[in-house]
Amino acid sequence: MVLKLPKEKIYTFHKKDFEKMLKDLGMFEDFEKTTLKCHFCSNKISENNLFGFLKINKKIVSICNKVECSEKAIQFQIGEKQK
Ligand SMILES: [Zn+2]
């Protein structure tokens, strides 16, 4: 099965842009304070386990890279598209 990622909504992780991306999203402070958590499993988000960001009800949330969480994120995006 091939899932197409809707690029405009999932912010994929690129290490060198990581800090800038967090700042752009207004989440850098939370990240610095390590209060960023995965929206689905509440895992603490670090540079090493970040899958990406998702926009849910106009709020940006972070998603960890566990298979279940990244799949949920993708499913959520697909659901949003079909509305
Ligand atoms: Zn997670």
**Å from CA of 11 to ligand 1 middle:** 16
Sheet of 11-12: strand order equals: 11-12, 50-56, 59-64
Q: How many CA atoms lie within 13 A of 63 on its CB side?
A: 27
pLDDT tens for each residue of 10-47:
555 555 677 887 888 888 888 888 788 999 999 998 88
**Å from CA of 43 to ligand 1 middle:** 5
Residue 77 is predicted with a pLDDT of: 82
**Å from CA of 51 to ligand 1 middle:** 9
Among 9-13, 52-56, 78-82, whose mean pLDDT is lowest? 9-13
CA angle 50, 39, 69 (to 5 degrees): 60
Give the C-alpha separation, 13 to 21, whole Å: 9
Highest mean pLDDT among 6-20, 46-60, 61-75: 61-75
Question: What confidence tier does 68 reach under pLDDT thresholds 50, 70, 90?
Answer: very high
